[in-house]
Structure 1
Amino acid sequence: MNSSRIEDVMQAMVIRRHGDPDVLESADLPTPRPGFGEALIRVRAVSVNVFLDVANRAGRVPFARYDFPHVLGSEHAGELVEYGPDTEAEFPLGSRVVVHNAISCGTCKPCSDGRAESCANLELVGVTRPGAYAQFTVVPAANLRPLPQHVSFVEAAAMSVNGPLATVQLTDAGVRAGDTVLVQGAASSTGTMSAVVARALGCRVLGTTRSAAKLAELERLELFDAVVDSNEPGALDQIRERSGGGVDIVVDNVGSPELWKLTMGALAPLGRVVSSGAMFGGKVELNLAALYLASQRIIGVRSANEASRALFWQLVEDHQLRPVIDSTFPLEAVADAHRRLEAMSNVGRVVIEVAGA
């Protein structure tokens, strides 16, 4: 089914080798066509992910699989313009949609057990198949969700992965209204999104940052009940004082050994630490005696699942949630967006806007 004539060639930004941001270059590519069970999306916005995009560009994603030239870009939103042959049309053409970037096989044991987020054959848009630094993408029709009216394409791209991820992190940690949540690396896109979701779930939220300049910016967001400079010698005392003796949940996706000490020190008895990734390697010391004596837990969450996506988008509807947007760039300036993330200058999400499709 086609909504209109689609040009045979589209504009994209590609990499022909791994390297610094200068390897990103403009290219004209054949416009992809959807097959059975797939949909063609006119890309309007795509987030820049520090791992799936920036590290991927540099060749530091061990599970990436693609040939050059390759189109990066995983987390995106746009307009539904075409279904593949004999594909069931769940939404009308022209719908504003957000794309779930992970594609499960549906046949392995985790998929059969209803835990597709742990699929043994998981594919990712922009990592194991062509991505969204382009005017069009082809994705499974089952990976589409219509956008709430109040959510823009930029906001949708910014929340498409981090929102459901923050939701499953907190629900897997047994979050309850009134809990105190500490978000490490609060200025990152995942950090700000964790704060947005935690507040929607009725939690008190504390944050940390290693940047004095970002601390003031975070305080202005009014997402956090308090923000602490984790470099300060008295950081742990500040957190324990502001949390009334310790926090119920710590979201620590950083994996820094020094920050981990702060994570475990801030945790109250029966507290939970949840992590999805480790930017600084993830090798940390753990005092098992202290862990079991306080009945604390450490939880690893690989990615969101269908239940967390449904809950997150319901929260978006009910609470008019919006992400923290650091900055936006046009598609042709995607290299500058990568540089901003590499310099760790952002507070919140960096998003690419795609025009002219």
Structure 2
Amino acid sequence: MASPKTTRYYELAKIGSYRNLEVKEKLVNPPKAHGVLVKVHAVSLQYRDLIVANGFYPAGTIPDKLVPCSDMAGEILALGEGVTNWKVGDRVCANFVLDHVYGDTNLAIQQTSMGGQAHGVLTQYRTFPAHSLVKFPEFFSYEEASTLPAAALTAYNSLHGPTRVRAGDYVLVLGTGGVSIFGLQLALASGAIVIVTSSSDEKLKIASRLGAQHIINYNKVPDWDQEVLRITNGVGVDHVLEVGGQGTLTRSINAVRMAGYIHIIGFVSKESSDINIVGRTIRKGIILRGIQIGSVSQFRDMVRLIIANPEKTRPVIDKTFSFDNVLDAFAYLESQKHVGKIVIKVAQQSLN
């Protein structure tokens, strides 16, 4: 395949609204040493993309005229000098944080977080460092694979971090967004018992079809933490995937067992609380763990788990949009009507 001369891409002309996204075009440069040129087939959206565009992202400096989004899947078109572990035609994802290869992160590594501190992937072609790439399961389409870098890896890092989820553990998943659905799937693949909360009975039906053993509509059961304790015979859950933030954290603390893990992932809840979180955390010996996606090494381990459990871990894609309808995709993300992931099909034609 001949290397492209130009690429169309989106840039955020001004922070404040995703409606400030504009389509631009620029030349495609060949990959430098240890770099790889990739044709982007699909990009998936996450909540972070929305708050970055709208000006509510709490971490780091955003580059001018940001190219948004962090999650992609594509095929390798060209290799830079010194790249020996990839070949043209390989189907890959780039890690959310390009330089987080293994171990703990640091400030320098964080500056390579795409779609936030660094330019992202909402483009037809892009070069990546060879060390940032991961081959995704062969039986996944590009659209499915594009959901893995942030949502799936965040859930995997939560459940397979310092203390791995074990068969028979109770896992509480808040909501039915991208991270939450992957949390449900990966927990089930590890043999856990999963409780899912949502304000929508329709969304909870989908969670049940995916295998959730217990579901709670928190509009109908406002004291959902007490229902979790009832389900677990008063003990509490081993792990909580906490995506709500301040508005849900106090109930998550009530619902987790002593010395259990609460994995702090997001802050989508619009509620607030003045409960003494510190005191309750100390009293129960809870581990509050902030999650910053994951490393390339963890990404590879996650792919192995997915390959071993193909039926339980198939990505749930709510809706797919074309590259020309990116604003509609962001509007749908903002509506929070989706279950699972929203995907933008970048390439005109996909190989799968």
Deviation at 1:323, TM superposition (A): 1.5
1:117 equivalent in alignment to 2:105: yes
In structure 2, relative to structure 1, the CA distance for the partners of 1:191 and 1:150 (3 Å cut) is same
1:309 aligns with 299
- Residue correspondences, number: 341
Deviation at 1:309, TM superposition (A): 1.8
In structure 2, relative to structure 1, the CA distance for the partners of 1:255 and 1:287 (3 Å cut) is closer
2:56 aligns with 60
Q: Greater CA deviation, 121-130 or 200-209?
A: 121-130
In structure 2, relative to structure 1, the CA distance for the partners of 1:170 and 1:39 (3 Å cut) is same
1:279 equivalent in alignment to 2:268: yes
Residue 331 of structure 2 is aligned with which of 323, 328, 339? Answer: 339
SS at match of 2:63: coil
Residue 228 of structure 1 is aligned with which of 210, 216, 225? Answer: 216
Q: Greater CA deviation, 89-98 or 10-19?
A: 10-19
The amino acid across from 2:226 in the alignment is D
Q: Greater CA deviation, 70-79 or 18-27?
A: 18-27
1:263 equivalent in alignment to 2:252: yes
1:91 aligns with 86
Residue 71 of structure 1 is aligned with which of 67, 72, 75? Answer: 67
SS at match of 1:160: helix
Residues 182-236 of structure 1, C-alpha deviation per residue, up to 9 Å, x if partnerless?
A: 0112x111100111111111100001113344333333x3331111112323423
1:294 aligns with 284
Unaligned segments of structure 2, at least 5 residues? none
2:11 aligns with 14
In structure 2, relative to structure 1, the CA distance for the partners of 1:180 and 1:133 (3 Å cut) is same
Residues 112-139 of structure 1, C-alpha deviation per residue, up to 9 Å, x if partnerless?
A: xx63433434212232333221110111
Task: Tell me the distance in 1 between the aligned counterparts of 2:10 and 2:293.
Answer: 27
1:352 aligns with 344
Task: Tell me the distance in 2 between the aligned counterparts of 1:260 and 1:287.
Answer: 8
TM-score (norm 2): 0.89
Task: Tell me the distance in 2 between the aligned counterparts of 1:222 and 1:313.
Answer: 19
SS at match of 1:228: strand
Deviation at 1:288, TM superposition (A): 4.5
SS at match of 1:172: coil
Task: Tell me the distance in 2 between the aligned counterparts of 1:237 and 1:163.
Answer: 28
2:115 aligns with 126
In structure 2, relative to structure 1, the CA distance for the partners of 1:118 and 1:208 (3 Å cut) is farther
Task: Tell me the distance in 1 between the aligned counterparts of 2:255 and 2:62.
Answer: 39
In structure 2, relative to structure 1, the CA distance for the partners of 1:236 and 1:279 (3 Å cut) is closer
User: Would the aligned equivalents of 1:73 and 1:133 in 2 still touch at CA under 8 Å?
Assistant: yes
Q: Greater CA deviation, 59-68 or 321-330?
A: 59-68
2:35 aligns with 38
In structure 2, relative to structure 1, the CA distance for the partners of 1:205 and 1:9 (3 Å cut) is same
Identity percentage of aligned residues: 24
Residue 149 of structure 2 is aligned with which of 132, 141, 160? Answer: 160
1:23 equivalent in alignment to 2:20: yes
The amino acid across from 1:13 in the alignment is Y
User: Would the aligned equivalents of 1:173 and 1:249 in 2 still touch at CA under 8 Å?
Assistant: no
Task: Tell me the distance in 1 between the aligned counterparts of 2:29 and 2:53.
Answer: 22
Please, what is the CA RMSD of the aligned residues? Answer: 2.3
Task: Tell me the distance in 2 between the aligned counterparts of 1:284 and 1:322.
Answer: 39
SS at match of 2:243: coil
Task: Tell me the distance in 2 between the aligned counterparts of 1:92 and 1:121.
Answer: 26
Residues 77-98 of structure 1, C-alpha deviation per residue, up to 9 Å, x if partnerless?
A: 10000112x2322121011111
Unaligned segments of structure 1, at least 5 residues? 106-110
2:233 aligns with 244
